[in-house]
Structure 1
């Protein structure tokens, strides 16, 4: 297994993240899908119709996107997912393998159908996504062994199902791995106790503005304070075109990427989480990891498909130089 790009030449160990000899830097556990993109004149709403044209078929899935972005950032990335033993499942895994992700921990379910998404894209590049979840999406708990978790320095469980993610996070930590999670708005709504428990087990917690709306009335500082108080090591709040904020005890940062022409926003948040995680687990500081995290989506949104940027031949170092990083006011009490 080789990463998609060479590791940055100044990647120096700064703590135990960079001296652990486990063979996998980032193990994403969750989903891989196939995405069908349709260009529409407007996003269809209730009792509406939008007739468009098929723009392309690309690999997707939040966990798959995160793993690919971690590889792009220089990490040795692997994915443990479940797909059907069908053409879509083969396509999903083959594309990931070509993009530098070790898919050997994944399983193909005989008779199963791989889940897929249909994505409407309006002329501005904004999207509306409909996921067709089949009987196969993520591995069953029993399909993820403790031995597999111990091969990874960091485990990133999909947080669609908080109880499932908490179980995996606890087992990963018990085996000596670090944990990163990306909180989904629908998953966290009304489940504050489970959110706190997952944060307690996590070294890195990512959430977008919609998740911050659910947890803290849209206030990113309050959201970060809540998650840090629960025990999270660091919290990253993503803000779309406005970049991202990173909070940890004693330090706070904001970063904004260069303005780019947006083709498709699909997978931008997954790319940020993956590039940040891949950089951080290789020994980079939170500030440098935030710059890498924000650089990834700046490239991602310029291409159709959540991972098409990987074929552009652009290294992450050239993008990082165009990210504006500033110290942010520290959180009170941390």
Structure 2
């Protein structure tokens, strides 16, 4: 998501609503947004570890064919990177985020730091290399299909364990209520995750796609947010609901898994430790029955939770919990720009909601 865009992020928004012509992120607009939200969590410090960079966005009339030459309709240079986007979202929602990442001492790196600081993200734990280049991405925006195509150039030199001292890790974790990982900077992320786990700090992992080292993070995760394809790709289960069962069985520490489904909204499987244990229901049948409640004419996002039951997936196993289906807000085509960073904004809202519920005594 362009970090200069305004926010309009219900907790169960879809991946298709991130870049909307709504607000420029001014103080008055942020205040207006905050007034529509629940009270802020008591504990608001969030630590994130992952990507930050610069996005070069080019809007074209249609996606180019090989060897094409074309003019862009409009162009922007804006902040990007999964972790940076997500933490910017949490800052605009009133939380106090800190970011661990690495940039270079170049023009892009300075812009990244300046923009994050102006949005309220604590940058003192960001490593700045003397030489090399900061991460950047070319983003081709196709307004016809409402999609974006990303070409990523990683930062160089890459982040290594020696970049962050044990005292810096301890300082970054001090007072933190939740730690978030976007699946990048694997070695550094795992060191931070292990220390957070030892301190009893909850961990949320973004499982966008299978990556080296991601399984180690998932094994420590209290909460997981996935892209649409990840659960089945990771578990081999035949359907998304059955894959969620498989994920909770493989990750006994995880309290919930959320899957974003684009314009179809999202679905959560939340583990319960105190279920009635009397009703045994097929997870796919329950999922399909909940979908029958969706009103296609409704514009605003709505949640449809099941009761807490014993959920089973044939050939996989069973867990006690409940399914929650969330619909997506319907954005008029004239307002929808593209999907850049929509998942990052979604996760930022999930972090906000998780801390809010935790601080107000809502537990499994």
Assess if the C-alpha contact under 8 Å between 2:48 and 2:99 holds in 1: yes
Instruction: Provide the residue aligned with 2:266 in structure 1.
Output: 244
Instruction: Provide the residue aligned with 2:139 in structure 1.
Output: 119
Instruction: Provide the residue aligned with 1:298 in structure 2.
Output: none
Q: Distance in 1 between matches of 2:359 and 2:256?
A: 11
- Return the index of the structure with the highest Cα Rg: 2
The Cα of 1:9 is off from its aligned counterpart by 6.6
The Cα of 1:161 is off from its aligned counterpart by 5.5
The Cα of 1:93 is off from its aligned counterpart by 1.4
Q: Distance in 1 between matches of 2:347 and 2:98?
A: 15
Instruction: Provide the residue aligned with 1:72 in structure 2.
Output: 92
**Deviation digits for residues 185-218 of structure 1, max 9, x if unmatched?**
1417xx8xx62x4333111101111223412457
Q: Distance in 2 between matches of 1:247 and 1:215?
A: 16
Q: Distance in 2 between matches of 1:233 and 1:285?
A: 16
Which deviates more, 71-80 or 27-36?
A: 71-80
Residue 233 of structure 2 corresponds to residue 214 of structure 1: yes
User: Alpha carbons of 1:256 and 1:9: their partners in 2 closer, same or farther (altered >3 Å)?
Assistant: closer
The secondary structure found in structure 1 opposite 2:101 is strand
Q: In the alignment, which of 129, 132, 151 is matched to residue 130 of structure 1?
A: 151
Instruction: Provide the residue aligned with 1:225 in structure 2.
Output: 245
**Deviation digits for residues 54-103 of structure 1, max 9, x if unmatched?**
51111000000110112233322121221111111111111111112122
Instruction: Provide the residue aligned with 1:278 in structure 2.
Output: 352
Q: In the alignment, which of 244, 252, 257 is matched to residue 235 of structure 1?
A: 257
The secondary structure found in structure 2 opposite 1:49 is coil
Q: Distance in 1 between matches of 2:111 and 2:269?
A: 38
User: Alpha carbons of 1:226 and 1:74: their partners in 2 closer, same or farther (altered >3 Å)?
Assistant: farther
The secondary structure found in structure 2 opposite 1:145 is helix
Instruction: Provide the residue aligned with 1:294 in structure 2.
Output: none
TM-score (norm 1): 0.72
Assess if the C-alpha contact under 8 Å between 1:118 and 1:130 holds in 2: yes
Q: In the alignment, which of 211, 216, 221 is matched to residue 202 of structure 1?
A: 221
Q: In the alignment, which of 183, 198, 202 is matched to residue 207 of structure 2?
A: 183
Q: What is the aligned length?
A: 272
User: Alpha carbons of 1:138 and 1:237: their partners in 2 closer, same or farther (altered >3 Å)?
Assistant: farther
User: Alpha carbons of 1:165 and 1:44: their partners in 2 closer, same or farther (altered >3 Å)?
Assistant: farther
Q: Distance in 1 between matches of 2:68 and 2:243?
A: 37
The secondary structure found in structure 2 opposite 1:259 is coil
User: Alpha carbons of 1:62 and 1:210: their partners in 2 closer, same or farther (altered >3 Å)?
Assistant: same
Assess if the C-alpha contact under 8 Å between 1:72 and 1:275 holds in 2: no
Matches for 1:250-261 after TM superposition, within 5 Å: 250-260=321-331, 261=333
**Root mean square deviation of aligned Cα:** 3.0
Assess if the C-alpha contact under 8 Å between 1:246 and 1:253 holds in 2: yes
Which deviates more, 258-267 or 142-151?
A: 142-151
TM-score (norm 2): 0.67
The Cα of 1:132 is off from its aligned counterpart by 0.9
Assess if the C-alpha contact under 8 Å between 2:160 and 2:188 holds in 1: no
Q: Distance in 2 between matches of 1:163 and 1:246?
A: 29
User: Alpha carbons of 1:140 and 1:173: their partners in 2 closer, same or farther (altered >3 Å)?
Assistant: same
Q: Distance in 2 between matches of 1:235 and 1:32?
A: 25
Which deviates more, 217-226 or 253-262?
A: 217-226
Q: Distance in 2 between matches of 1:142 and 1:92?
A: 18
The Cα of 1:142 is off from its aligned counterpart by 4.5
The Cα of 1:258 is off from its aligned counterpart by 1.7
Q: Distance in 2 between matches of 1:32 and 1:237?
A: 23
Q: Distance in 1 between matches of 2:327 and 2:211?
A: 27
The Cα of 1:43 is off from its aligned counterpart by 3.1
**Deviation digits for residues 299-327 of structure 1, max 9, x if unmatched?**
xxxxxxxxxxxxxxxxxxxxxxxxxxxxx
Instruction: Provide the residue aligned with 2:176 in structure 1.
Output: 152
The secondary structure found in structure 1 opposite 2:357 is coil
